[in-house]
């Protein structure tokens, strides 16, 4: 799978509205055939920072995502709300699911 984590620093005046601002892009991406997950979290340390964790089945699915109309629309819609260019880590890993964190196994 293609596993991506990106950090988005949002302008202070848009930070609370970011989930709504990014909703059309998020929903369209989650609807892609090759999207495994596309999840936003807000930083506990910086209320202007949102972290996006996303995964796509393979390189073809990732390419389809970047070539999609909703991605092109997001390239127009999202940057005016950002304080800086998002930062990204992107790599290919085996599998298509999350693995358990064995060091913190929960036994109930």
What CATH number does residue 56 fall under? Answer: 3.30.70.100
In this prediction, residue 12 carries a pLDDT of: 98
Mean pLDDT of 4-30: 98
**Phi/psi of residue 88, each to 5°?**
-140, 145
In this prediction, residue 82 carries a pLDDT of: 98
Prediction pTM value: 0.92
In this prediction, residue 23 carries a pLDDT of: 98
In this prediction, residue 10 carries a pLDDT of: 98
In a domain, 108, yes or no: no
In this prediction, residue 62 carries a pLDDT of: 96
Mean pLDDT of 55-71: 97
In a domain, 25, yes or no: yes
Domain of 61 in residue numbering reads as 2-93
In a domain, 60, yes or no: yes
Q: How many domains does the chain have?
A: 1
Instruction: Please tell me whether residue 69 adopts helix, strand or coil conformation.
Output: helix
In a domain, 87, yes or no: yes
In this prediction, residue 107 carries a pLDDT of: 93
In a domain, 105, yes or no: no
In this prediction, residue 13 carries a pLDDT of: 98
pLDDT tens for 31-60 read 999 999 999 999 999 999 999 999 999 999
């Amino acid at each position: 799978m293609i596993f991506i984590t990106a950090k988005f620093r949002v302008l202070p005046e848009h930070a609370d509205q970011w989930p709504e601002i990014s909703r059309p892009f998020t929903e369209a991406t989650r609807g892609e055939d090759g999207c495994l997950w596309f999840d936003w979290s807000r930083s506990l340390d910086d209320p202007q920072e949102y972290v996006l964790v996303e995964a796509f089945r393979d390189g073809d699915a990732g390419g389809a995502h970047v070539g999609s109309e909703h991605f092109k629309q997001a390239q127009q819609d999202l940057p005016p709300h950002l304080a800086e260019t998002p930062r990204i880590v992107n790599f290919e890993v085996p599998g298509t699911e999350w693995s358990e964190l064995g060091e913190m196994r929960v036994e109930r």
